[in-house]
């Protein structure tokens, strides 16, 4: 028994140094190949448009002679937002109170205060890049679609042509003009897009627009 124990001890002493001298096994874990990151496609550089300057001119003509020309300038962004302009004032109109009395009595009609009527010009403008056709949404380079609404109210002039057509003499009469249109323009392009003649005075109102692109 002692001999067997001695032999086992000698065997262990012989094998242990050899096992200690052997390097430990290295566990290598194979990693999956790195996935390449997709590089986003670079879009073409397009010059940014900061604003569109829209000039609307309301001109009046008597025959071929120009009587008046009123220009209005608005800064519009090409994103379908509305740019508005309101200019004008309120005109006082005396109110007449007729009291009971003789028809020819001048004192029967007396002033009963004033009412007010707004006169002036109202402009509403929208802008967006022009579309090539109804089947696509691609904008046409350099062209813009303008939606323009013009409304104007003014007092008729006191000339003989107007007086001869008034139903009530010595009473203020007002004329109004309203137009809504869509036009397509390029940079520095202008267009006269509306013309109408007043049946009382014979004056012709013409509306023109000019587009300037601001980069």
pLDDT tens per residue across span 65-98: 999 999 999 999 999 999 999 999 998 887 776 6
Residue 103 lies in a domain: no
Which residues constitute the domain of residue 126? 51-90+118-214
Total domains present in the chain: 1
Question: For the residues 147-156, what does the mean pLDDT come to?
Answer: 93
List 120's β-bridge partners, or say none. 88, 153
Nearest to 145 by CA among 187, 116, 182, 189: 182
Residue 200 lies in a domain: yes
- Within its chain, how far is the Cα of 202 from the centroid? 35
Q: How far is CA 126 from CA 52, 79, 132, 180, in A?
A: 10, 8, 18, 11
Q: What is the pLDDT of residue 163?
A: 56
- Residue 52: is its pLDDT beyond 70? yes
Sign of the Cα pseudo-torsion (125, 131, 135, 138, in order): negative
The first and second tokens of residue 99, run together, are 């009291």
Residue 171 lies in a domain: yes
Residue 2 lies in a domain: no
Residue 96 lies in a domain: no
Q: How far apart are CA 84 and CA 76, in angstroms?
A: 9
Report the mean per-residue pLDDT for the chain. 76
Contact 138, 147 (CB under 8 A): no
Q: How far apart are CA 131 and CA 139, in angstroms?
A: 5
- Residue 130: is its pLDDT beyond 60? yes
Residue 19 lies in a domain: no
Residue 101 lies in a domain: no
Question: For the residues 9-23, what does the mean pLDDT come to?
Answer: 53
Residue 148 lies in a domain: yes
Taking the whole predicted model, whether its pTM rises above 0.75 is answered as no
């Amino acid at each position: 028994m002692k001999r067997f124990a001695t032999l086992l001890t000698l065997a262990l002493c012989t094998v242990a140094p050899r096992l200690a001298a052997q390097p430990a096994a290295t566990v290598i874990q194979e990693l999956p190949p790195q996935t390449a990151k997709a590089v986003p496609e670079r879009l073409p550089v397009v010059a940014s448009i900061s604003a569109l300057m829209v000039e609307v001119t309301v001109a009046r003509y008597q025959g071929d002679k120009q009587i008046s020309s009123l220009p209005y300038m608005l800064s519009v962004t090409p994103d379908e937002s509305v740019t508005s302009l309101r200019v004008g004032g309120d005109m006082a109109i005396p109110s007449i109170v007729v009291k009971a009395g003789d028809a020819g009595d001048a004192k029967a009609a007396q002033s009963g205060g004033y009412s007010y009527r707004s006169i002036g010009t109202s402009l509403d403008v929208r802008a967006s890049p022009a579309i090539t056709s109804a089947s696509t949404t691609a904008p046409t380079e350099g062209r813009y679609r303008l939606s323009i609404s013009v409304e104007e109210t003014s007092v008729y002039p006191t000339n003989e042509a107007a007086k001869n057509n008034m139903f009530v003499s010595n009473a203020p009469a007002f004329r109004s003009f309203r137009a809504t249109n869509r036009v397509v323009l390029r940079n520095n392009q202008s267009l006269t897009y509306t013309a109408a003649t007043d049946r009382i005075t014979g004056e012709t109102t013409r509306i023109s627009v000019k587009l300037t692109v601001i980069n």
